[in-house]
Structure 1
Amino acid sequence: MTRHRSVPELLTLQSLRLAGTADAERILLPTDLIEDLVRTAQASGQVETVEFGSSRSLVLTAAGHARLRELLADDLEAADAQETLRTVLEDFEQGINDEMVRVVSDWQRAAPSTAPPQELLDTLERLGSALQEVIAPLAARLPRFGRFPAQYGLALRRARDGDLRWIAGIGILSCHTVWAELHQDLLSTLGRERLPESRPEER
């Protein structure tokens, strides 16, 4: 059986929705192709540039959100992954998400500029292993989800090497950023939204 592959347009629009940027690190496609897709989306009125002070971000317009919903629904149906996604999302939310949110929140409220305790790193390691196990059935049907456990593991290794930004830093694929983007990706692929109060990590 041929392995399912999500179309580049979906990967690009979803990256813009999740992070306000589209890059090879998230999409795992050639940079030239990503840039062409972004330009096409801008020309068709699906993406616009928004300025926040001195920074700029690409965001989806109403047309962009509508197109992304269509692509996500088609992708899910083509991979026959609806039931797998529901099960994985339930396991994620009921099994490991609350602990991750609590652990990172406690770390942020404590002293994030100091060396993290070994207990925190060990907990993040355990959660990373659990994440890989939870996501595996979905990644087998929708391979685009396979990047999240891998990027979480890379961020944790960097944190263990002493760069504390990789625990919960903003603007990089830190453990917390990867986790938050995964949660939103799971929900939006299923056609659901996160409640505002449950997403303090997002801008």
Structure 2
Amino acid sequence: MTFRSTPEDLALHGVRVLGFPTASRVAARYRLAVDTVTEALLDFEARGWVRNLTFVDSSGWSLSDAGRIENERRLAEELDRAGVRDAVVRAHAEFVPLNRRFGVACTDWQVRPTRLDPMAFNDHTDWRWDERVLKTLTSVEASFRQLCAGLADRLARFDGYADRYSTALRKVNMGQRAWVDAHDRDSCHILWIQFHEDLLATLGIPRGSDM
């Protein structure tokens, strides 16, 4: 049976995975009531685990160091209660080579070396270069979907990543190329980063140590 996280745990975890989200964004991601998420975040704020910040015209929640520790403690308890630690470890091992392929593709989408500048910005005028990148983004879709499905069968909070990736990729293939890596939407790159962060947090692995 799929293990379902408590709304409180999802509220705290959502702040980490989504990165500076509003309560409504966390609620939408995990299909929770906004009031439930807001109440949990206010309680966590009183405990020093999260803080609400405002920058110019945007505001959102972020984890404190204590909040990251608490988040990982709760996720570790989940793994033990659900009895799925080994399965998640295996999923992470399968993800690592897939992540390398995806990472190279995203770098190539942003950078196209020239004879004079190995870090030249990709101006997307080279159709063949960009098509090679898009083929990679498409080629990892099936493996990513299978990986997500296996995880979602064990931990319900992993559900949704594959469908959102496929939706973004479909928009890319329709010519809306901003859906490759734009930061203001659920682009392919943003979803991939969120999934990776979810895995790292779940297993307590420091970012950058699994490259």
Normalised by the size of structure 2, how large is the TM-score?
0.82
For residue 146 of structure 1, the aligned residue among 142, 159, 165 is 159
In 2: Cα distance, 1:190 partner to 1:121 partner: 30
Aligned letter for 2:7?
P
* Local SS of the residue matching 2:183: coil
Q: Match of 1:190?
A: 203
Q: Does 1:37 align with 2:49?
A: no
* Local SS of the residue matching 1:100: helix
Aligned letter for 2:45?
Q
* Deviations 1:160-191 (CA, angstroms, capped at 9, x unpaired): 22222211011321100111111111011011
Highest CA radius of gyration, 1 or 2? 2
For residue 91 of structure 2, the aligned residue among 76, 88, 93 is 88
Q: Is the 8 A contact 2:11 2:37 kept in 1?
A: yes
In 2: Cα distance, 1:7 partner to 1:49 partner: 22
Q: Is the 8 A contact 2:15 2:62 kept in 1?
A: yes
Aligned-pair CA distance for 1:82: 0.5
Normalised by the size of structure 1, how large is the TM-score?
0.85
Q: Does 1:104 align with 2:106?
A: yes
In 2: Cα distance, 1:60 partner to 1:164 partner: 31
Q: Is the 8 A contact 1:166 1:174 kept in 2?
A: yes
Q: Match of 1:163?
A: 176
Q: Pick closer, same or farther for the CA change 1:126–1:84 going to 2, 3 Å.
A: same
In 1: Cα distance, 2:152 partner to 2:143 partner: 14
Where does the alignment leave 5 or more consecutive residues of structure 2 unmatched?
Answer: 112-121
In 2: Cα distance, 1:45 partner to 1:113 partner: 49
Query: Percent identity, aligned pairs only?
Result: 29
What is the count of residue pairs matched by the alignment? 196
